[in-house]
Chains A and B, each alone.
Chain A
Amino acid sequence: MNTNHNFPSTGDEVDRLLSSFYRSEVPTKWPAAPKPWAEKAHTQTIASASNPASRSRWALAASVAILVGGCWYLSTNMTNGKHRPDGNFDGGSADTKNVKDLGKKTKTP
């Protein structure tokens, strides 16, 4: 039984051919370990920052909010084209005299 487990150089041509061939094949510089944790963090950052779908959703939400807020503001603070300084509805009671006057003013000939 062969107890020498190192391979002595046989000196034959096949040995030389194989040594040269494999030496040329082995990478001279081995890449560093991949960093999947960095890649994951990077992907998450990019996804949250530059995802076009996410951006357009935010733009849509902002537009709707502005629209609803604008409507609410106009409905509560403006009456008959004039600004209501106190912003209230006189306790919800309608003034029939003013309503009649308003009808006369807006009547077309």
Chain B
Amino acid sequence: MKSKVPAADEHPVGRKAEFEALHARHSREVWAMAYARWMDADLALDIAQEAFMRLWKHWEAGEEEIQNPRAWLLRVARNLAEDYAKSSFRKNGTMAPQLMNGVKSREPMPVEVMERAEAFEKIRSTLEELPQGDRDLLTLRYALEYDAVKIAEMLGINATAVHMRLTRARQRLADKLTAQGTTTIP
């Protein structure tokens, strides 16, 4: 049975320290989960920070004790990322794309930078076409540089399955990129 916990205000010093420790320990993972959903680093940062704010509010309200804050935070981040899909901001944006295309950079981009950015955009769009599970794996492996054990623990699967799924995800990505003609980064 879950017990009631003292509200955050009742133990300000201890709670604050615990909150900051949790942030230091898990913020990258929370970011990674949100990032894997939308492939947008800035949005993922916002979602991660919001997930931690929700944790504090939960404590402050003196609601039921969270047995596993890491799992709780990851779940909240996933939910927030899903909610974003329904938001009008995402559907409509702030400005029509054709207007944004006319905005000029202050300095002209060197050709290599442009080509690199273009290659990255192709990789991003290809990753977006992969199943969510593949993106989770690839993000944990390449963004956080987690080993198979850590990935397995986080996703609730075994390490052998991580290796297998990762190999398949990479293969799927390679097939798509090859079909598009993206095989190298300038």
Contacts and interface: CB of A to CB of B under 8 A. Distances in A.
A94 interface: no
Interface string B22-43: 0110011001000100010100
Given A21-B120, A33-B19, A13 B183 contact: yes
A37 B52 CA distance: 12
Interface string B42-77: 000100010011001100100000000000000000
A5 B147 CA distance: 6
Nearest to B16: A37
Contacts of B120: 20-21, 24
A17 B41 contact: no
Contacts of B148: 5-7
Contacts of B27: 30-31, 33
A37 B45 contact: no
A24 B141 CA distance: 14
* Chain B, interface residues (CB within 8 Å), range: 35 or more
Contacts of B60: 36
A1 B163 CA distance: 10
Given A15-B170, A26-B41, A37 B143 contact: no
Contact of B185 (A1, A20, A30): A20
Contacts of B147: 5-7
A21 B123 contact: yes
Nearest to B175: A14
Contacts of A6: 147-148
Given A5-B147, A33-B52, 17 more contacts: A1-B160, A2-B160, A7-B141, A7-B148, A14-B174, A15-B170, A17-B183, A17-B185, A21-B123, A21-B142, A22-B138, A24-B120, A25-B143, A27-B45, A33-B27, A36-B56, A36-B57
